[in-house]
Amino acid sequence: MTQSISNARYTLKNGLALAYYDSKHAAAGQNQQPIVVLLHGYCGSSAYFKELAPLLEGSCRVIALDLIGHGQSELSEDEIYSLDTHAAMIEEWLEGLGIMQAQLFGHSMGGYLTLAVAQRKPAFLQAFGLLHSTALPDSEQARDNRDAAINTVKEKGVAAFVSNLVPKLVAADHPERKALIEAAVEIGNETSANAVIGYARGMKERPDRTVTIEQSRLPVLLVSGAKDAVVNTDQTFAGRQAATRCEVIEDAGHMGMLETPQQLADVLMKFIGTVH
């Protein structure tokens, strides 16, 4: 049984079908505003937002994508999943849905894609934000870790990689740590090997995009988990400018939407309400 919460599909011009969740369908066709688009992280899916989405839907239309090769979306055979190429796919998908402006929030790798959209096509956005993510490029250690991830998937498979990755994402002292790890592992195991490898290569070559935030005229939200062992608060807040809103969730690790969904929803709604 798939973990993805997608309830709709869209086929891109290149023939790849994207699966996504749209609260407009869940709410009997009600057209809610503003439009909030959520992009999950590496080895995740729209299922990452199954607790968060209902908390936002009272005042927003919430759309959560399964990225290429994740959840129920089809995979690309490309060897490198270029973040700019995949940002263009996200733009095409949203335009195909008739959405010309949205607030875009990306978790972890989804944040890298969010920044790519913000740099490529800022007029497309009303606001954007990073959730447990960073505008900084990979460090040398992180680049080495990408290579190790690729080797693990090639030699041992996706499940072996995911079982090692996920425990690092949840706060060490979270009272529901075991259950959250099990849930995130199930979600991660649905990722195709080609996507794990392709996105690892794409993240490894991504540029420094701190300037995308520094020069943006859009409202920007940066959210960090105080117990995040993957992307620390300084990294998340890198590239901020005077108008950037920075928020720390004290009890969250790298997975606020699963660890502390109500706190993250409160932060998001407070920010979304200021965007005009």
Average pLDDT, consecutive stretches of 10 residues, N- to C-terminus, the chain (276 residues): 92 98 72 87 98 94 98 97 98 96 97 98 95 98 97 98 98 98 98 98 98 96 98 95 93 98 98 89
The per-residue pLDDT for 138 is 97
CATH architecture designation of domain 8-272: 3-Layer(aba) Sandwich (3.40)
Q: Which pLDDT score, from 0 to 100, does residue 32 have? A: 54
Burial label for 188, CB within 10 Å (0-12, 13-18, 19+), is buried
Q: How far apart are CA 102 and CA 64, in angstroms?
A: 12
The pLDDT of residue 192 is 98
Write the DSSP symbol of residue 176.
T
Q: Measured between alpha carbons, how far is 1 from 170 in angstroms, rounded to an integer?
A: 24
pLDDT of residue 75: 96
Any residues with CB less than 8 A from the CB of 193 and at least 6 apart, and which? 153, 154, 157, 158
Largest CA distance in the chain: 50
Report the alpha-carbon distance of residue 138 to residue 7 in Å, rounded.
34
Nearest alpha carbon to residue 25 among 10, 14, 15, 43? 10
Q: Is 223 exposed, middle or buried (0-12, 13-18, 19+ CB in 10 A)?
A: buried
pLDDT at residue 26, as a whole number: 62
pLDDT of residue 31: 60
Q: Where are the domains of the chain?
A: 8-272
pTM for the predicted model, two decimal places? 0.96
Region of 71 (left: φ > 0; alpha: ψ -120 to 50; beta: rest) is: left
pLDDT for 131: 98
pLDDT for position 276 = 73
Angle between helices 109-120 and 193-204 (to 10 degrees): 60
